[in-house]
Amino acid sequence: MGYLYLSAGHKSSGKTTVSLGLCAALRLRQGLGVQPFKKGPDYIDPLWLAAAAGRPCHNLDFFIQTAEEIRGEFGHRMHGADIGLIEGNKGLFDGVALDGSNSNAALAALLDAPVLLVIDARGMTRGVAPLLLGYQQFTPRVRIAGVILNRVGGARHENKLRQAVEHYTDIPVLGAVPESPGLEIVERHLGLMPSNEHAEASAIIERIAAVVADSVDLDAVTAAAGSAPPVSDTGGRPPPEPRDRVCIGVARDAAFGFYYEADLESLEAAGARLEFFDMLVDTRLPAVDGLFLGGGFPEARMEAIERNAAMRDQVRDFIECGGAAYAECGGLMYLCRSLTWNGKVCKMAGVIPADAVMYERPQGRGYVRLRETPRHPWPDGITMNQDDIPAHEFHYSRLENVDRPLTFAYEMVRGQGIDGHHDGIVHRNLLASYAHLRDVAGNQWTRRFVAHVRACRQQRRSSQRAKDER
């Protein structure tokens, strides 16, 4: 077992493409069990990495998790894998903190992971050497085990780059990936188009894997990964609770696919059975006790959502009749009266008395901190969370034409939320917010939501019995 941290000199160096190619090539060409990870809050890259590796990708995040949680999660997920690949975000030393405490380098150091550095070599020859020397010396704790030269312009360009690296540094060149439009993945406002809505995702991954396999020394990559220290599994998550389970319907389709795999596991561990359904195709909800409508790109499928009036009615009736529901970002937009994008307006479910309007620039972006109000509907034993909740948001929409006062579950300590001051609309037994939560030690939201679903189910059953007795 071994592992590597894939980082880059700067953002947009082609790191994700190389990561996808390595995951798929090591799995398909080397026959290895590849466990992918992604630094920070991200849904799109993990969807692609999971598709390439053939197993779920997991996020490691300094803002949400403690150092011990990160190490524990990493060790647990590495169990049964032959090699782990951690894809960083931005550049190796980039981060919000001046001291680099939340950078890729800090995460690599925490996990004692050898770093494979991806360099965008366009317009560069001899200058690659001082760049690499500077990266080596800036944080000696971080060990750069190799470099992959990306977007190389041809054999002559590759030769000049290799000569410079080999003459001036002791960093081995493990590959040189040619510049090719065929390796590009379509992008939109949040980054790459998610693999769950890309019809050619498998073909794209196979094409990238073929190029990377021909351009990178895979044996050298596995050898570099093997230089990492052993990883111990510290136990992971508790087994599912044996008590009476509730059924939670999870919207998962081409429009809604932003879920943390670990959170879905935590819902099951808390006593839920998950029933996945398609908001675009299915005309009836499955027989569920609660709903989880995650994020995604409803604007890209807004016409299909409008056409499926039956599902919109089903969701609205479920919530208005007291069903427990939780919606994040795209799910929140779905529950509004309408969605406007590129001059087109489409009907949504009409639960929330507002219209979701898309803009060209982000309306909320980055990490947030939430403070619960007494109107938060989920139980936490008897009391609500007393500490601020770390989460993240990334949305190009905002709510407009609100025609009645809203009740909010959160005050914004940091971030934009609904109106710059609040987030988490509460309506009956619904909580809908722009913020994305993660289930961690400091915010066990899945346990609380399952308890909420169970309580609402009991309340609805009691009400029905009372009606039947009359």
Tokens (6 digits) for 216: 């990178």
Rounded Cα distance between 458 and 470, Å, is 19
Catalytic residue among 57, 329, 336, 456: 329
Residue 329 is among the residues annotated as catalytic for this protein = yes
Residue 272 carries which side chain, given as an amino acid letter?
Answer: A
- By C-alpha distance, which of 276, 281, 351 is closest to 316? 351
Give catalytic residue positions: 329
